[in-house]
Structure 1
Amino acid sequence: MTVHLGALSRSRRATKRPLLDVVAEVLLAQPGASLAEVAEFAGISRTTLHKHYATRDELVRAVGQRATEIWEQAVDRVADEPGTKAGLRQLLAAMIESGPQLTFLWRNPALDEDNELTRRYIDVENRCLAVLDRARKEGVLAATTPDWWLLQTLYALVYTAAESIQFGKLAPLDAPDLALSTLLNGLGAPATGAGSGKPDKGESE
């Protein structure tokens, strides 16, 4: 997800949000941002930020933990409706809403060195896959789709939807339905004239 710090400052600075969510967006926009730059964008002093996170590594780890927690909560939301279209939409909606935080988690290899965070990441990924697998068994998703493709497609849709919202290409309320439609149907045109016996364009009569 390509994020521009200037655009973020115009659209987000006035909105009161958790500090770590702001930090995730700042570090996506400017991965090399210093603690001073992060504090400036977040509207707090460098001293205040330092009281909570003594080093940049501590701050990055805290953002990773926050992102993982958000992902866990997103999967929790579909606990009562696994395997249904409604459940998949809820999962997509929750993950898209937290797109910057999840993108930070997915794109930050330094977090792989944190054993606790890695364990939580693997656990929530498996839980996420379980939701998709249930949908596959219920016939909502294609039975032959490999596990890794299900997950990567889900991540790609979340990433693209969140980025499109960021740049004003997609309304937040429309994003879950568009992502769900793409997940279930792909980008191909719906079949027409099934059983009519008429050849498709390009086929010989």
Structure 2
Amino acid sequence: MSKTPHLADMSPAARRTRRLIIEAGIAVLAERTSATLSEIAAAADVSRSTLHRHFADRNDLLAAIDAECRARFKRAEAAARLGEGSALDSLDRLAQEYLGLGLVLGLVFADNAPVDPDSWDDEDGDGGLAVVIEGGQREGDIDPELSTEWVDVTFWTLLFGAWLSLQGGMSRRDVAFQLSRTVRKAFGAA
């Protein structure tokens, strides 16, 4: 069990330091999931003892990073306005919003990924992506001959390819265009 103080009990300076450590953890672990706490502390420009005042151990820090990533995914889903317009437009907007998560995708797509969106409970019970896909198939917007599972896995595979292209030096604008075009052609009803 964590001995870390509750966020509401922290001073503004302590909250800023905690935020810096989490941000550094995301950046460092996105590059190398085996990075040490000392490397994360150095990236956050804090001492190892300061890191340990905020996070008892690596698991505590990873839990905080996971929670931050989950919050960012939720904000991306909200920004994608999944309930508005056609399902294909929603998938396209969601792909773009997820692509904008940047380093967070590095954590999701890394070998031995420290962040796994599949492990997050769907608090709202809306099923997110699956609901969009199934609704789009009923409305004739998404190819009904593709299974929901296939579209879901392919969506994430395309996102992984987009992220790899960004890492390879392709411009954000070009990647966004290619991703959008592929989503629309791959999933759109004929």
Q: TM-score, normalised by structure 1?
A: 0.67
Asked if structure 1 preserves the Cα contact closer than 8 Å seen for 2:76 and 2:97, the reply is yes
Give the C-alpha shift of residue 27 in structure 1: 1.5
Q: Would you say the 8 A contact 1:68–1:121 is kept in 2?
A: no
In the TM superposition, what is the alpha-carbon distance from 1:36 to its structure 2 partner?
Answer: 0.5
- How far is the alpha carbon of 1:125 from its aligned partner? 8.7
Q: What is the match of residue 181 of structure 2?
A: 181
Give the aligned length: 165
Q: Distance in 1 between matches of 2:94 and 2:65?
A: 21
Q: What is aligned with 1:100? A: 103
| Partner Cα separation in structure 2 for residue 110 and residue 125 of structure 1 | 25
Q: In percent, how many aligned pairs have the same letter?
A: 24
Tell me the equivalent position of 2:151: 150
Matches within 5 A, 1:25-174: 25-77=27-79, 78-81=81-84, 83-105=86-108, 108=112, 118-120=119-121, 126-169=127-170, 171-174=171-174
Tell me how far apart the structure 2 counterparts of residues 99 and 124 of structure 1 sit (CA, whole Å): 26
- Kept in 2, the 8 Å contact 1:161–1:179? The answer is yes
Q: Which piece of structure 1 moves more, 174-183 or 76-85?
A: 76-85
Query: Which amino acid in structure 2 is aligned with residue 120 of structure 1?
Result: D
Show structure 1 runs of 5+ residues with no match.
1-16, 187-205
Local SS of the residue matching 2:33: coil
Q: Which is further off, 99-108 or 74-83?
A: 99-108
Contact 2:105 2:163 in 1 (8 A): no
Give me the whole-angstrom Cα distance separating, in 2, the residues matched to 1:181 and 1:152.
17
Computed over aligned residues only, the root mean square deviation of the Cα atoms, in angstroms, reads: 2.9
Distance verdict in 2 for CA 1:24–1:96, change over 3 Å: same
Corresponding residue for 2:6?
none
| Shift in alpha-carbon separation, 1:124–1:70, aligned structure 2, 3 A | farther
Q: Which amino acid aligns with 1:35?
A: L
Q: 1:133 to 1:21 in 2, by over 3 A?
A: farther
Kindly provide the amino acid, as one letter, of the partner of residue 58 in structure 2.
R
Which structure has the larger Rg over C-alpha atoms?
Answer: 1
Distance in 2 separating the partners of 1:150 and 1:123: 21
Q: CA deviation at 1:40?
A: 1.3
Q: Structure 2: where are the runs of 5+ without partners?
A: 1-18
Report deviation, 1:141: 1.9
3-state SS, counterpart of residue 181 of structure 1: helix
Q: Structure 2 length normalisation: TM-score?
A: 0.71
SS in 2 for 1:23: helix
Mapped partners of 2:152, 2:168: distance in 1? 25
- 8 A contact 1:99–1:159 mirrored in 2: no
